[in-house]
């Protein structure tokens, strides 16, 4: 399943939609593939040499974030821009949490690039 979905993008095939690029970026976080994440970040919003935060390394040197799942809430696209709203679940330091983001993408020369994201406020559940 990985080879049919995100693996092909990690090997260099361009993602045909921003949503597919978002899924591949999430998978890259799961796999600690910093190179793919950096390579799909638009040059105008990525600082040179920008480290990709994966969590605080534990004593073993491995990051303490464990990604648990991705839920795509929406994908809105025009010819050359798109937004993808998602919720990514993870566990860090034994505590479950989630990242809710609305990501912006742009397509240039046929390739989709991650621009940035905003984090909408969510109502607390009682």
Question: Which residues partner with 67 through β-bridges?
Answer: 90
Domain span holding position 33: 3-49+61-118
Domain annotation covers residue 42: yes
Domain annotation covers residue 72: yes
Domain annotation covers residue 54: no
Q: What is the CATH number of the domain that holds 76?
A: 3.10.450.50
Domain annotation covers residue 123: no
Question: Which residues partner with 102 through β-bridges?
Answer: 85, 118
Domain annotation covers residue 22: yes
pTM summary value: 0.84
Domain count, the chain: 1
Please choose, from the candidates 71, 84, 70, 92, the residue with its C-alpha nearest in 3D space to the C-alpha of residue 112.
84
Render each residue's pLDDT in the chain as its tens digit; 126 residues. Answer: 888 889 999 999 999 999 999 999 999 989 888 889 989 999 898 876 555 555 544 554 556 788 999 999 999 999 999 999 999 999 988 899 999 999 999 999 999 999 999 999 764 544
């Amino acid at each position: 399943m990985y080879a049919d979905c995100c693996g092909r993008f990690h090997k260099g095939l361009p993602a045909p939609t921003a949503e597919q690029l978002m899924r591949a970026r999430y998978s890259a976080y799961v796999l600690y593939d910093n190179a793919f994440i950096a390579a799909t970040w638009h040059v105008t919003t990525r600082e040179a040499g920008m480290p990709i935060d994966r969590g605080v390394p534990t004593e073993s040197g491995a990051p303490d974030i464990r990604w648990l799942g991705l839920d795509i809430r929406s994908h809105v696209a025009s010819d050359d821009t798109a937004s993808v709203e998602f919720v990514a679940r993870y566990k860090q330091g034994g505590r479950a949490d989630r990242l809710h983001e609305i990501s912006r993408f742009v397509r240039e020369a046929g390739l989709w690039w991650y621009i940035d994201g905003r984090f909408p406020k969510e109502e607390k559940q009682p």
